[in-house]
Amino acid sequence: MDDAEAAGHRNRTETPSGVAGDVTLGVVVACYSLERLDDVLRLFDSIKQQTAPIDEVVVVVQQSRELFEAVGRAVVGLTHSRVRLLFLETARGVSQARNAGLRELGTDIIAFVDDDAVLTEDWAGATRRLYLARPDAVGVAGAILPQWDSPGNQWFPRELYWMLSCTYWTGTSPRPVRNGYGANMSFRREAFGEGRCFNESIGISGWGTGGWRGMGGEEPDLALRVTAATGRPILYVPDIRVRHRVRSHRLAWRSLVRRAYWDGRFKATLAHRPAGNTDVLNTEWSLLQEMVRAHAARLRLLVSRPLVALRQECLVLLVVAVVGFGFVEGRLRRIRREAVS
């Protein structure tokens, strides 16, 4: 494997999942910063506490040798899973790390979890049950609940949770969606048939206190290719839950504006996918409808908590405007490129 090395950390146990009618489950975790070590350790604790087995875990560490060594010591405790630890010398983005990890897994189901997420105790069991009950589903978008660094951040409007890599959907039953989020998503192995994987030319290269870096969009890009190739849906399943840490700096207005701008740029790119994908922006139209409903509900909040309601309203309007600006700029850039070529 290019610029990757495997550590000798393989905690091999006989897993009870190899019974008739069951599926095997593997997890890929990508991490890149020693500052996230405490988050990674909390994730490992949640893996150990699962009520159903996770058969294989692949941890991909990018760039930080110190983190690689610290994670190597920590994975020894994952005695109920087969564990493999990989190191990538360069950090070319989360798509590269996820691709490196999925190539190492031999399970029926391949899941991806962010290094600052924590699995609920029944995460593995709920994932297994869903794939057994819904053979039509090629992938799952699990619920991602915000774990706020500060209780004071709970004012953030739910319809904008996607800006924090959390899910804003409110339904209680599984339903088809375009794509999941990297903090909690999984696919059947056949989703990666014919060489399909994450597009390493897109996607962010990691969060910092400065905010979002780059266009992003690796999850919807892969999901659209998978559903087009297989003809099978990706389901949002609210019972498959993780809690995702939301650092306070992510709620800074400058950071949110940058995130909204790049999201608009990506939507402009998404709108130009090949013929047959004319509905790729249905998710965005549905979200706008959700925003209208939330606006109506916020009128009641104006009476009981006017400052919170006004803060939410201002942010939603700003985000919609900046996303729109990014979308228009992205379209104009494309038109200019086509005119030159």
Q: 28-32, 76-80, 304-308: which has the minimum mean pLDDT?
A: 76-80
DSSP structural state of residue 175: E
pLDDT at 303: 85
pLDDT at 278: 45
Measured CA to CA, the distance from residue 97 to residue 205 in angstroms comes to 10
Measured CA to CA, the distance from residue 127 to residue 118 in angstroms comes to 15
pTM equals 0.87
pLDDT digits (tens, 9 = 90+) for 128-163: 999 999 999 999 999 999 999 999 999 999 999 999
Measured CA to CA, the distance from residue 294 to residue 254 in angstroms comes to 23
pLDDT at 273 over 80: no
Beta bridge partners of 243: 118, 145
Residues in the chain: 341
Written as one letter, the residue type at 275 is A
pLDDT at 288: 83
What percent of the chain stands above pLDDT 70? Answer: 87
Domain boundaries defined on the chain: 4-248, 252-341
Phi, psi angle pair for 224, to nearest 5°: -65, -40
H or E stretch covering 74: helix 65-74
Q: Which CATH number fits domain 4-248: 3.90.550.10, 3.90.226.10, 3.40.50.720, 3.40.50.620?
A: 3.90.550.10
pLDDT at 293: 85
pLDDT at 210: 47
pLDDT at 92 over 80: no
pLDDT at 15 over 70: no
pLDDT digits (tens, 9 = 90+) for 216-257: 788 999 999 999 999 999 999 999 999 999 999 999 999 999
pLDDT at 215 over 80: no
Written as one letter, the residue type at 101 is G
192 pLDDT band, cuts 50/70/90, is very high
